[in-house]
Amino acid sequence: MRMRPTLSWTPTEDLPPATTDLEPVVAALNTGGVLVLSGAGISTESGIPDYRGEGGSLGRHTPMTYQDFTADPRARRRYWARSHLGWRTFGRARPNAGHRAVAAFARRGLLSGVITQNVDGLHQAAGSETVTELHGSLARVVCLSCGAFSPRHELARRLEEANAGFEPVAAGINPDGDADLTDEQVGDFRVMPCAICGGILKPDVVFFGETVPPQRVEHCRELVRGATSLLVLGSSLTVMSGLRFVRQAAQAQKPVLIINRDPTRGDPHAVTRVALTLGAALSTVADRLNIPVDGQATAGN
């Protein structure tokens, strides 16, 4: 039976109230050494839905699990058909004001790094250079047999050639790049094997049910140890993948600041949660710090 991923969490204690005051975020960035941890919420303004927010994709869509993908050829066909179609839209997404503000903070030397739970590459597209992709990247493909990596655009070309005329209309796109298609729309979609050894190809992302590589987790823990504070952007922190770094920072008495419209599982560990839309909030922070975004001068307060 296919297992649904964690959809929500239920607070076991009263959460501290949210605020709209951005001054603690401004002060933290002014100090420097801020480590950013971003989630799907920072990409919603780029047209990529999040998992658990209002209208989140988990209400209608169960992401592929690692166990299903590796064990069931039919599941792989369904995944690659949906992902191939989704990639056409996903690959056209562009950074929004939130991504651009984070890149601007980094250029000013205020950040110690960026950890993202997203697989969309939008932080890098906005100009951020020191980005750790906690859950990998849809722009890469890995062979589960020989371990070879290849660019996603190469596989996309092979899939286009093998599935000429595949043009179904998807009901929606999801944060993992998976488009909503029925089994009838998937049809007899042809899946491509590894061009080197003929093995099973998988996007270089961490599926639900799969663990983040230990060396990547340790690298992130090292980033937390070296930061002065942790700024969480657009993550519900429902799963332990990101929550563990919030807990680590709080245990080390490093301030945790969260910008997320909805309550998060990390709220009890945070000094503040700002309930504002990320693009507008981060643009305001940049303005108050007199930091140009996209090369345009901003007026300081």
pLDDT digits (tens, 9 = 90+) for 84-119: 988 877 778 899 999 999 999 999 999 999 999 999
Evaluate if residue 274 carries a pLDDT over 50.
Answer: yes
Residue type for position 109: G
pLDDT range class, residue 290, cuts 50, 70, 90 = very high
pTM of the model: 0.88
Query: Is residue 135 annotated as part of the catalytic site, yes or no?
Result: yes
pLDDT surpassing 80 at residue 129: yes
Q: Report the sign of the C-alpha dihedral through residues 201, 203, 209, 213, in that order.
A: positive
Q: Of 156-160, 209-213, 294-298, which one has max mean pLDDT?
A: 156-160
* Cα–Cα distance measured from residue 273 to residue 284, given in angstroms and rounded to the nearest whole number: 16
Whole-number Å distance between alpha carbons of 265 and 89: 31
Question: Residue 17, annotated ligand binder?
Answer: no
Q: Is 32 annotated as a binding residue?
A: no
Domain 19-48+95-135+212-296 sits in CATH at 3.40.50.1220
d(CA 26, CA 70): 46
- First-to-last C-alpha distance (Å) of the chain: 57
> Per the residue annotation, which of 61, 99, 135, 269 is the catalytic one?
135
Task: Please indicate if the annotation marks 147 as binding a ligand.
Answer: no
CA 186 vs. chain centroid, Å, equals 26
Are 85 and 166 within 8 A, CB to CB? yes
Mean pLDDT of 204-217: 92
Give the whole-angstrom CA distance, residue 233 versus residue 135.
Answer: 16
- Topology (CATH level 3) of domain 59-92+138-205: SIR2/SIRT2 'Small Domain' (3.30.1600)
Domain residues of the chain, as ranges?
Answer: 19-48+95-135+212-296, 59-92+138-205
Confidence of residue 180 (pLDDT cuts 50, 70, 90): confident
Looking at the chain, how many residues does it have?
A: 301
SS3 111: strand
- Helix (H) or strand (E) segment spanning residue 141: strand 136-143
pLDDT in tens, 29-65: 999 999 999 999 999 999 887 654 554 444 445 678 8
236 assigned to a ligand binding site:
yes
Report CA 1 to chain centroid distance, whole Å. 27
